[in-house]
Amino acid sequence: MYTLYYLPGACSMAVHVLLNELGQKVTLENVSVPDGQPRSAAFLKVNPRGSVPVLVDNGEAIREGGAIMSYLLDKHNSPMLPKAGKERALALEWLMFGNATMHPAYAKVFFSMRNITDPAAKDQAIKAAIGQIEKLWDEVDARLAQNPYVCGKQITAADILLTVIANWSSYFPQYPVKLGANVKRLLKEITARPTYQQALKLEQVEYKAAA
């Protein structure tokens, strides 16, 4: 059985949903702490970086969401990650887009909210970050105008990860992120999957981005 260290609604939820998709049993460890407090000593032994997700498989810890999802999809022979060729490269490209491009774009908003004290400067920084986020979603929307999923006709891990990230806009409702019709279609489809609904219920997260 796997152990997944997570924060409710964070990028770790994509791993949670994926484990459900793969039909794998998992022990969930919520590492949430009050704002400003460090992670527990027990968790820092597992991951000194203090970040999630962390997956423990047979006593070995795997860190970084993209690596974890790729590992699981290969191990369980899932079509959500093609085995070779251009199809695999495309699936990995869009998984990394979510992990290394879209995720940091949202992180800029969270950083500004927590660290910029001057109201005018904070507002300016957040609006600039939102603008970049919307450009990224426009790119996703354009791809979804051609196919049902970002990599074509087959759902991949990237669709799950992007769906998780889209909901982070609910943490700053005063700065709404505009999403195209194709993106909203994808979000509604992915979140309707029983595997996603199960993760939302267990992590006690309300999904708002598809509204």
Instruction: Give residue 179's pLDDT.
Output: 98
Whether 201 maps to a domain, the answer reads: no
Shared domain check, 160 and 139: yes
Q: Nearest Cα to 158, choosing from 84, 68, 64, 93?
A: 93
**Same domain, yes or no: 45 and 18:** yes
Q: How many other C-beta atoms can be found within 10 angstroms of the C-beta atom of residue 143? A: 16
Give the pTM. 0.96
Q: Are residues 71 and 148 in the same domain?
A: no
Q: What pLDDT is recorded for position 180?
A: 97
- Distances in Å between the alpha carbon of 194 and those of 56, 122, 189? 24, 39, 11
The pLDDT assigned to 80 comes to 96
Do 64 and 116 have their domain in common?
A: no
In this prediction, residue 118 carries a pLDDT of 98
Q: Is residue 202 part of a domain?
A: no
Residues 142 and 188 in one domain: yes
Residues 70 and 98 reside in one and the same domain: no
Which residues of the chain have a pLDDT value below 50?
Answer: none
Helices 65-75 and 157-166: angle between axes, nearest 10 degrees: 150
Statement to judge: residues 25 and 56 lie in one domain: yes
Q: Is 185 inside any structural domain?
A: yes
The CA distance from 36 to 146, in Å, is: 44
pLDDT at 34: 81
Within this chain, do residues 92 and 188 fall inside the same structural domain, yes or no?
yes
Are 23 and 110 in a shared domain?
Answer: no
Question: Residue 160: what residue type?
Answer: I
In this prediction, residue 211 carries a pLDDT of 79
Six-digit token pair at 201?
């219920």
Same domain, 111 and 156: yes
The whole domain housing 122 covers: 85-193
Q: Are residues 118 and 173 in the same domain?
A: yes
Domain boundary among 53, 75, 97: 75
The helix (H) or strand (E) run that includes residue 27 is: strand 26-30
Among the three residues 43, 75, 107, which one is the final residue of a domain in this structure?
75
Question: What local confidence, expressed as pLDDT, does residue 111 receive?
Answer: 96
Number of domains observed in the structure of the chain: 2
pLDDT at 162: 98
What is the pLDDT, as a whole number, of residue 37? Answer: 79
Residues 57 and 152 in one domain: no
